[in-house]
Every structure is written in structure tokens, then in C-alpha cells.
Amino acid sequence: MKKSISTFLKHPSKDNTNRSANPPVARASTILFDSLQEIKRHEKKVNAHKKVSHYSYGRYGSSTTIELENILKELEQAYHIFLTGTGFGGVALALMSVCRPGDEILVSDNVYGPTKEISQRLLKEFNITAKFYNPVRFDDLKNKVSKKTRLIVVENPGSNTFEFQDLSKIVNLARRKKILTFLDNTWGTPLYLKPLKIGFDMSFSSATKYFSGHSDAMGGSLAVNKKVYKRVMFFYKLSGYRMAADEAYLIIRGLRTLDVRLKQHYENTKKVINFLKKQKKIKEILYPYKPGSKDYKLWKKYYSGGTGLLSIVIKSKKKSSVIKFVNSLELFGIGYSWGGYESLAILQELRKSGEFLKERYFYRFNKDEHIVRLHIGLEDPKDLTQDLKNSLKHVK
């Protein structure tokens, strides 16, 4: 029977050994074979890059990680899924596996800080040069393409400032110039945007965020098409990347309710934004919340839903009062990460983000404008709004 993705996420594959509704955690280093001949047959297929399961030794997965790969393969419409122990491992895997000395990569200026740092610092040590392009000017990307460009690295929307880009334009440019493409899709998840279907070669999500959804597991998923599969597999196997079975179990468990949770995050976010947009102290809401708001058209063009992460720009000459606003929130936790069931708030100091990053090249906020990133969780939005109302009083 043809199932919708919501139904598919609720129905695990059958566990014939234990008969438990949810397949258990299979921890394994040693995987047993029936005979030496069976090992040989298996290795022959793997070495010939046949699309077979690499299930032969714990480093290449266990039945639990394979179950997660299968779920994500369907969700991403991917040729293959590579799982990593943290989200960032998936970014590193993508960049390190397809680039070679002498290559250049073009990176959107608004990517997650460590993505910028690996591009700028680590790849440089391998003679791979990163150039950053302005995410709101397609021309800038186009003009920076050279004969050496190997990869375009996009994050949509950008971390903290949430610019959306015209994804098909990037894919078309890359195809014309024979450049590979990577998209960090952690915000929208493959439920709301399928990068491989648009034509990206690699689609990445930090599974730590909405996939797991409960702030207690870490992982990464790199979905790839056939074109880059061999290259990424080569690097994956020889670099020891892997996801632990326990984390895979928690992420599978989270994925069962991904659709339901995201719907609620979105509903709550809209209600909180209804309050935020009336506040004079808030200069801008960085979220595509209504026609005419920043990048609404681009969001609508590509996404089938919205999630719970946004930033607000607060205008204040007294930064200390903005700090007081964040510190006095009762329901919003103060911490990194997002995508769990709970609300979070953090002041993003982009001008100083990272010792080596200096500031964003295309940074467009003034000194008295402060960015507070909010993750709207699954609490009652009335309580969240009240909490924000009480704390905004501190902004002077």
C-alpha cells in the first residue's frame, strides 16, 4: 500500500526476533557470518561498490543504524544516507570527501559558524580555498565562480539571520559549470524541503535538532545522490565516521513524531510572532511570517512548512538591557542548539562570532541592533508570550 510520509514515519520495519513494536537497540562490533565463503562474497560486492549493505562490522553500522538510514533515505529521496556521530561530522564529511588540493569552494556567508571555520581554516591547510558569497545577491555567487570551483556550500535559511536563497538558480548555475552542491537543510528538515529533488548533490541535516527532537541525542545525516556516492563512501569508510546504535535508536524514536512536532512548533511560532510584531522595541522579525515579510516568497516557493527557529532584531543603545531581557526569561532556556521540545533564547553576537571569523562580510545590522535567536518550543504559546512580555520590559 502506498503510504503518506506521516504514516511511513509511524511504522517501523518489523522486528521478527523480539516482536517489539519499536525495534530495539542493536549494539554490535562483531557481526557473525555463516561461513568464510559468505564473508568473501560480501567483501567482493562491497569492494565493487555494489549497492549492498555494509553490515559486516560494527564500524559500518548495526541493524539500528541501518533502520535509521532506510527511514531517512525515504524522507530525503536519497541514493544513500551517511550517518555521523554529530551533525557537524556530516558537514566535515561532505566538504572533506569531495574537495581536493587546488580546489576552490564557494560558501554562503551566512552559514553556521563552524562550517565557516572549517572552510576558512582547516581546508586551507589542504590547499583548498574558500571564498564567501553574499547570500542575498545571486550575482555575487555567479561572479565568484572560477575554473577551480569544486563545490557550492549553501545553508537555507542562513544561521541567525535567516536569509533564504533561490535554490534552483544555484543548482542551474552549478550544473552549467559542473560544480557540486551541498545544502544544510537543518532548519526545514527533509519533511518540508527535499534538496536532492531540487538537484543538490548533498543534503545535510543535523539530526541533533528536529530529527531527535528531545535535546538528548546527537547525530548527523548526509544524504547524497549517485554522482557523489562513491567519493563520499571512500572517505566515510576510511575516516571512521559512524553513529552509535543508541543515538540512532533515539533519533528513530524522534522521527516517529517529526511531522506532529513540526506542525505544533509552527503553530506556536505564528502565535508568538503575532505578539512580537506588535512590540515597538523589536525592529525586525527574521522569519517569513506573512506575505511581504523578509524572503516570504522564496520560502513559499520551496518549502511546504515552517519551523520554530527565528531571530528578532532589538534596537537598543544599552546592550546590557538586552542581556537582561534574555536572562530574565523564565521559560526560554539559555543555551546552544535548538530543535528540541523546549523554547530557547540566545544573544547572537555576529560581529565577534568566533576568534577567526571576525565579522560577516555582508553583515547588515547597526551597532545598536541586537540579534536574539529564539527557538519556539512546544509549551503553551500563551505562556511563552507572557514570558516574553514580562522580560521585554527590561529593554531600554
Residues near ligand PLP (CB under 6 A) are: 86-88, 91, 112, 155, 159, 184, 186, 206, 208, 218, 220, 337
Which is closer to ligand PLP, CB of 161 or CB of 186? 186
Question: Residue 20 corresponds to which cell in the numbers above?
Answer: 517489539
What the block records as the C-alpha cell of 97 is 570527501
Q: How far is the CB of 246 from ligand PLP (least distance, A)?
A: 16
**Shortest reach from residue 375's CB to ligand PLP, in Å:** 10
Sheet containing 344-348: order of strands:
282-286, 309-315, 369-375, 344-348, 333-334
Closest approach of Cβ 89 to ligand PLP, in Å? 7
Select 61 or 90, whichever has its Cβ closest to ligand PLP.
Answer: 90
Nearest approach in angstroms of CB 159 to ligand PLP is 5
For residues 149 and 186, which CB has a smaller minimum distance to ligand PLP in the complex? 186
Closest by Cα among 92, 295, 373 to 206: 92
Please tell me the distance from the alpha carbon of residue 162 to that of residue 138, in angstroms, as a whole number: 16
Locus of grid cell 506575505: 291
Amino acid type, 199: G
Q: What angle do CA 343, 346, 348 make, to 5 degrees?
A: 145
Distance CA 339, CA 356 (A): 27
- Judged by CB, which is closer to ligand PLP: 117, or 201? 117
From the CB of 5, what's the least distance to ligand PLP, in Å? 22
Do residues 100 and 234 make contact, with C-beta atoms less than 8 angstroms apart?
A: no
CA distances from 257 to 11, 45, 210, 242 (A): 11, 36, 10, 24
Q: Which is nearer to ligand PLP, 206 or 391 (CB)?
A: 206
The 8-class DSSP code of residue 30 comes to: B
Q: How far is the CB of 317 from ligand PLP (least distance, A)?
A: 30
Which of 133/187 has CB closer to ligand PLP?
Answer: 187
Closest CA to 189 of 71, 79, 269: 71
Q: Count the alpha carbons within 13 Å of 1 in the hemisphere toward its beta carbon.
A: 6
- The greatest distance separating any two alpha carbons of the chain, rounded to the nearest whole angstrom, comes to 75
CB of 276 to ligand PLP, least distance (A): 21
Of residues 69 and 247, the one with the C-beta less far from ligand PLP: 247
Say how far apart CA 245 and CA 28 lie, in whole Å. 8
CB of 84 to ligand PLP, least distance (A): 8
Q: Which residue has the cell 535509521?
A: 68
Question: Which is nearer to ligand PLP, 92 or 245 (by Cβ)?
Answer: 92
Nearest residue to ligand PLP by CB is: 87
